[in-house]
Amino acid sequence: MINELTIIEKMEKTIEDNINTYIEGDVPYLSAANVTIDFPDVDQMPRDVMIYLHPNYAEYENLATTNDRSVFTVAVFLLCKRDTRQSLTKKTFVYFNALYETLRRHMELEGTVDFSRVTNAEFYPAIDLNKNVQGAEVSVALEYTKDF
């Protein structure tokens, strides 16, 4: 049965496996160590660039006695640090565009959901009042049928 944990784990794996395909520009490629299911903590970032996936909320609508139409929303935090302010801004947008393209081209998360889409993104010139950390918060809606 597909549930929220299965979906967020598949989302993590899909990003890990595909994001480097869509990175354009002179920035380092990302590895599995750069993507994690967690809430971001700038002081505890293990890498200079991190993508954090955090469950946001879910909505359910009855379809039948055996399933519901579900929308699971995940907040994706993209954080970049330890570089010049100009480079941090460029990196944030390079990685954001690669993330957007990854989710757009793999919108079914390899058959795990029916459809996924980026619903909005908010960009931050400083995180926790630290001008040496920049990033984005991206909201992703994942639609699927939850069977019982």
Taking only the tens place, the pLDDT of each residue in 77-96 is: 999 999 999 999 999 999 99
CATH of 4-147, one of 3.10.129.10, 3.40.50.150, 3.30.70.1700, 3.40.1180.10: 3.30.70.1700
141 vs 19, 27, 47, CA distance in Å?
A: 18, 28, 26
Rg, the chain, Cα only: 16
Q: Enter the pTM of the model.
A: 0.94
What does DSSP say about strands 49-64 and 67-81: parallel, antiparallel, or unpaired? Answer: antiparallel
Tell the residue number behind the tokens 């944990």, with chain if given: 5
Helix H or strand E encompassing 72: strand 67-81
With contact defined as beta carbons under 8 Å apart, do 54 and 74 qualify? Answer: yes
Looking at residue 146, what is its pLDDT?
A: 87
Report how far residue 103's alpha carbon sits from residue 98's, in angstroms, rounded to the nearest whole number: 9
Residues 6+ apart with CB under 8 A from 24: 94, 97, 98
Provide block-wise average pLDDT over 10 residues at a time, the chain (148 residues).
93 98 95 97 95 96 89 98 94 98 97 96 93 96 91
With contact defined as beta carbons under 8 Å apart, do 104 and 121 qualify? Answer: no
Tell the residue number behind the tokens 């909201």, with chain if given: 139
Q: Can you give the residue ranges of every domain in the chain? A: 4-147
Report how far residue 8's alpha carbon sits from residue 67's, in angstroms, rounded to the nearest whole number: 20
